[in-house]
Amino acid sequence: MKPRSHVIDIPTIFAIDRGTRHEVARLLKREGLHRVAIFFDKAMKVIYGADIEASLRAEGIHFHSYCMDTLDYGSIANYSFSLPSDVEAIMALGGGKTIDGAKYIAFLKKLPFISVPTSSSNDGFSSPVASLIANGHRTTVPAAGPYGIIIDLDIIANAPEMFIYSGIGDLMSKITALWDWKFESRHIEVPYDDFAVMIAQKAVNSFVSLSSFDFKDSHFLSEFLYSLCMNGIAMEICGSSAPASGSEHLISHAMDKISKTPYLHGMQVGISTYLVSLLQKNQTDDIRRVYDTIGFWREVKALKIPRQLIHQAIDIAPSIKPQRHTVLHEKKYRDQAQALLITDKILSEVLVD
Ligand SMILES: [Zn+2]
Q: What is the pTM of this model?
A: 0.92
Ligand 1 (single-atom ion) residues, CB below 5 Å? 122, 170
133, 158, 183 - which closes a domain = 158
**DSSP assignments along 171-226, one per residue:** HHHHHHHHHHHHHHHHHS-----HHHHHHHHHHHHHHHT-S---TT-HHHHHHHHH
Q: Are residues 176 and 222 in the same domain?
A: yes
Q: Are residues 195 and 276 in the same domain?
A: yes
Q: Tens digits of per-residue pLDDT, 100-131?
A: 999 999 999 999 999 999 998 888 888 888 88
**Ligand 1 centroid from CA 79, angstroms:** 26
Question: What single DSSP character describes residue 306?
Answer: B
Q: What is the pLDDT of residue 1?
A: 62
Interstrand relation of 137-142 and 129-134 (parallel, antiparallel or unpaired): antiparallel
**Ligand 1 centroid from CA 129, angstroms:** 11
Q: How confident is the model at residue 21 (pLDDT cuts 50, 70, 90)?
A: very high
**Ligand 1 centroid from CA 124, angstroms:** 7
Q: Would residue 4 count as lying in a domain?
A: no
**Ligand 1 centroid from CA 266, angstroms:** 6
Q: Distance of alpha carbon 332 from its chain centroid, rounded? A: 29
**Ligand 1 centroid from CA 351, angstroms:** 21
Q: Are residues 135 and 256 in the same domain?
A: no
**Ligand 1 centroid from CA 63, angstroms:** 31
Q: Are residues 136 and 191 in the same domain?
A: no
CATH classification at residue 289 = 1.20.1090.10
Q: Tens digits of per-residue pLDDT, 304-342?
A: 999 999 999 999 999 999 999 999 999 999 999 999 999
Q: Are residues 18 and 37 in the same domain?
A: yes
pLDDT above 70 covers a percentage of the chain that reads 99
Residue-wise burial string across 75-103, b where 16 or more C-beta atoms lie within 10 A, e elsewhere: ebeebbeebeeebbbbbbbbbbbbbbbbb
**Ligand 1 centroid from CA 3, angstroms:** 29
**Ligand 1 centroid from CA 245, angstroms:** 6
Q: Are residues 29 and 85 in the same domain?
A: yes
Q: Would residue 213 count as lying in a domain?
A: yes
Report how many domains make up the chain: 2
**Ligand 1 centroid from CA 51, angstroms:** 30
Q: For 272-283, what is the mean pLDDT? A: 98
Pick from 76, 68, 63, 152: nearest CA to 109: 76
Q: Would residue 3 count as lying in a domain?
A: no
Q: How confident is the model at residue 233 (pLDDT cuts 50, 70, 90)?
A: confident
**Three-state secondary-structure class, residue 42:** helix
Q: For residues 267 and 168, what is the distance between their CA atoms, to the nearest angstrom?
A: 8
Q: What is the pLDDT of residue 81?
A: 87
Q: Are residues 50 and 136 in the same domain?
A: yes
Q: Tens digits of per-residue pLDDT, 169-187?
A: 999 999 999 999 999 999 9
Q: What is the pLDDT of residue 99?
A: 94
User: Would you call 5 exposed, middle or buried from its count of C-beta atoms within 10 A (0-12, 13-18, 19+)?
Assistant: exposed
Q: Tens digits of per-residue pLDDT, 52-64?
A: 999 999 999 999 9
When mean pLDDT is compared across 17-21, 142-146, 214-218, the lowest value belongs to 142-146
Amino acid at residue number 57: R
Q: What is the pLDDT of residue 209?
A: 95
User: Per-residue pLDDT for 4 more than 80?
Assistant: no
Q: Are residues 184 and 231 in the same domain?
A: yes
Q: Are residues 282 and 232 in the same domain?
A: yes
Residues 227 and 207: beta-carbon distance below 8 Å: yes
Q: Are residues 108 and 131 in the same domain?
A: yes
Q: What is the pLDDT of residue 79?
A: 84
Helix axes 96-109, 73-82, angle to 10 degrees: 50
Q: Are residues 120 and 170 in the same domain?
A: no
Question: What single DSSP character describes residue 144?
Answer: P
CATH classification at residue 90 = 3.40.50.1970
**Ligand 1 centroid from CA 182, angstroms:** 18
Give me the chain's average pLDDT, please: 93
Q: Would residue 179 count as lying in a domain?
A: yes
Range of the structural domain that residue 171 is part of = 161-350
Q: Are residues 143 and 192 in the same domain?
A: no
Q: For 258-273, what is the mean pLDDT? A: 94
User: Per-residue pLDDT for 50 more than 90?
Assistant: yes
Residues 172 and 284: beta-carbon distance below 8 Å: no
Q: Would residue 187 count as lying in a domain?
A: yes
Half-sphere exposure of 348 (CA within 13 A, CB side): 6
Q: How confident is the model at residue 134 (pLDDT cuts 50, 70, 90)?
A: confident
Q: What is the pLDDT of residue 112?
A: 96
Query: What φ, ψ does residue 116 adopt, rounded to 5°?
Result: -125, 80
**Ligand 1 centroid from CA 269, angstroms:** 7
Q: What is the pLDDT of residue 10?
A: 87
Q: What is the pLDDT of residue 144?
A: 78
Q: How confident is the model at residue 142 (pLDDT cuts 50, 70, 90)?
A: confident
Q: For 136-161, what is the mean pLDDT? A: 90
Adjacent-strand bridge partners of 94? 117
Q: For 70-85, what is the mean pLDDT? A: 88
